[in-house]
Amino acid sequence: MLRDFQQHLQDQGFQAWDEGAINVMFNSPTGSGKTVIMADTIIKRDCPTVAIAHRQELVGQLCLALNRENVPHGIIAPKEKIQQIIALEVDTHGYSRYNARANTRAASVDTLIRRDAGDRWFQQVMFAAVDEGHHVLKANKWGQALNMVPNARGGFFTAHALRADGAGLGRSADGLVDRLVVGPCGRDLIGRGFLADYRLVCPPVHKYADVPISASGDFNPKLLAAAVHQDGTIVGDVVRHYLQFTPGALGITFAVDISSAQDIAKAYRAAGVPAEIITGDTPPQVRAGLMKKFRQRQILMMVSVDVLGEGVDVPAVEVIIWARPTASFQFYAQGCGRGGRLALTDFQAANWHLYTDEQRLEQIAASAKPNFTIIDPVGNWSRFYDEHGMVCSRQNYTLDRREKKTKEKKGDTIQQRACLFCFLTYESFLPKCPHCNMEHVPQGRTHPAQVDGDLMLLDPQVLAQLRGEARKVEDAPAIPRNANSTVVNSILKNHRERQAGQATLRDAMAVWGGWQEQLKGLDTRTAQRKFFHTFGMDVMSAQALNTKDAWTLEQKIRNQLHQHNIVSTQ
């Protein structure tokens, strides 16, 4: 049975097909059960289907997902590979739903495009389910594979409907998607108890700004690897941070290449942490054995090279560590998302959809994994924050080509700060780090921006000046001597309009402030800091705005109030 948010997403997809869309992209966060939705969609469409995996080594993972959901499936692969996958299914689930003549057949994209396009089966396929569907473009191998099934509707499943290279996924751009349907964001599912929350640890950052971006939109692999190897401290820092912040935790470390992974794994072992390496070349049976030991905590740290970032289920990981810088938000978000899986008993998992949100959150808090940790000494989080917010933030997806990245701050997302003492991140409007109680010391006190809008920290002279500007709105306007009646009337009219605009603005500010203080429990000082970080202006300067700017700010405030269903009771 699908959970409510999964069912809603699927319903949107079927509606899109009913309305004439050929290919629909289903967007749902890492850990939200995309393969469950995919398998259920395959069952409901009930027609000859090809399920396409990103890489050959991920076909086994895709088949495991189909097997888990009791979907009979064939496998388009060499005989030896098929036997390995069947054995993997039996070892994992105790059974295999493999059937060479099944309606659904799984294959890697590379295997499909090497097959004879004249095979009659391609004409019979009526549905193409593509895992990691953001890879599909008209001109690449995924587009070529889909051209081989000309009678098929498509369901493209992804955690993030975007590409690092900026290519548009829509049919009118570079891709083949006709309709995008978007589910809840990660923060929504964390708040409802379907994903684990996280804490972000950001030690002093290793810099890799000089590494160029390749055509893929990520750092040039060879030059990035060279830069990481030249940095002689990253390996030791990764192990030290693990021992400092999450000793004994089950984790994944993302490494830049096999050589770096070997160094990191060796350093973990030397520190008494059982660690193994997993790469794209690790055979399925070997990988299955490693993952089994990982689940049993015989291995505490898996050092990953180009795997475990997408298309694979992992156990209830407690820490994600980045020893690999990336310029791809897709890769970063999916990697971090591997920690979002909850630590539930079999009974809880079977009945999780029956609980209320509050009951789920209570059980998570009492579980063996109330949250997980992301340790990011390479600065990936700050690299993406301006455009994307946090990894769990709602994204502004588009099927169009992205010509350039925007630096505009996202919606309700508040800027984060890394504590210089404990390295944990927290929302910048807070005057103190909530983790260690250390107070952030501003570099100056002569401008509201230097103190994060905290009026208590401003120099008295500056604060007096701001108050004086705000009082000018309340006082009578200054009228030049010897001004004629036309000028006087114009000044008085403009002043009345400014007062009227300020009256409605101040009313909106009062409602917003009451919301923060009464419903969110913030004191006045913290609420004023949050106002500054939310709207880019301190509360005193806002009360001195001209008519036009006051109206603009008021609309921003009221829009946010409306989004959160906050209304004035007066």
Is the same domain home to 276 and 377? yes
**In which residue are the tokens 């100056």 written?**
444
With residue 37 as reference, give the H or E element that holds it.
helix 34-45
Q: Which residues contact 307 (CB under 8 A, 6 or more apart)?
A: 57, 278, 279, 280, 282
**Residue 417 included in any domain:** no
Residues 103 and 127 in one domain: yes
Give yes or no: residues 266 and 322 share one domain.
yes
**167 and 230 belong to one structural domain:** no
What is the model's pTM?
0.76
- B/e letters for 536-567, b = 16+ CB within 10 Å, e = fewer, are ebbbbebbbbebeebbebbeebbebbeeeeee
Which of 27, 45, 25 is CA-nearest to residue 151? Answer: 45
Statement to judge: residues 158 and 221 lie in one domain: no
Which helix (H) or strand (E) covers residue 106, if one does?
strand 104-108
Q: End of a domain among 184, 216, 247? A: 184
12 belongs to a structural domain: yes
Say if residue 175 is in the same domain as residue 201.
Answer: no
Helix (H, G, I), strand (E, B) or coil at 181: strand
- Residue-wise pLDDT tens for the chain (570 aa)? 899 999 999 999 999 999 999 999 999 998 898 888 999 999 999 999 999 988 776 788 788 888 988 899 999 988 988 998 899 889 889 999 999 989 999 999 999 999 988 888 899 999 999 999 999 999 999 999 999 999 999 999 999 999 888 899 999 999 999 999 999 999 999 999 999 999 998 887 767 667 888 887 888 888 888 888 887 778 888 999 999 999 999 999 999 999 999 999 999 999 999 999 998 778 777 887 888 899 899 999 999 987 654 445 566 799 999 999 898 898 899 899 989 999 999 899 889 999 999 999 999 999 999 999 999 988 888 888 878 888 888 888 999 987 654 444 444 556 777 776 777 777 777 878 887 777 776 767 777 777 777 777 777 887 788 888 888 888 888 888 888 888 889 989 999 999 999 999 998 988 888 888 877 788 888 888 888 888 888 888 999 899 999 999 999 998 888 877 887 655
By the 8 A CB rule, do 24 and 13 touch? yes
Q: Are 166 and 208 in the same domain?
A: no
Domain that holds residue 44: 4-184
CATH number at residue 38: 3.40.50.300
pLDDT number for residue 227: 84
pLDDT for the residue 410: 47
262 and 374 within one domain: yes
Task: Please tell me the predicted confidence (pLDDT) of residue 568.
Answer: 66
Residues 72 and 112 in one domain: yes
Residue 440 lies in a domain: no
Do 234 and 123 lie in one domain? The reply is: no
- Residue 271: per-residue pLDDT: 95
Place of tokens 């269903």: 565
The answer to whether residues 35 and 108 belong to one domain is yes
Residue with tokens 């108050």: 467
* Domain contains 437: no
Of residues 187, 181, 214, 232, the one with CA closest to residue 8: 181
Residue 348: how many CB atoms within 10 A of its CB? 15
User: 311 and 227 in one domain?
Assistant: yes
Is residue 232 in some structural domain?
Answer: yes
Q: Which phi and psi (to 5°) does residue 406 adopt?
A: -95, 145
Instruction: Read off the tokens for 244.
Output: 């400092």
Characterize the bridge pairing of strands 104-108 and 371-375.
unpaired
413 is a domain residue: no
Which among 166, 184, 202 is the end of a domain? 184
Single out the residue in 408, 440, 466 at which a domain terminates.
Answer: 408
Is residue 252 in some structural domain? yes
Total domains in the chain come to 3
The 3-state secondary structure of 229-291 reads HHCCCHHHHHHHHHHHHCCCCCEEEECCCHHHHHHHHHHHHHCCCCEEEEECCCCHHHHHHHH
Sign of CA dihedral 527, 530, 532, 534: negative
Domain assignment present for residue 442? The answer is: no
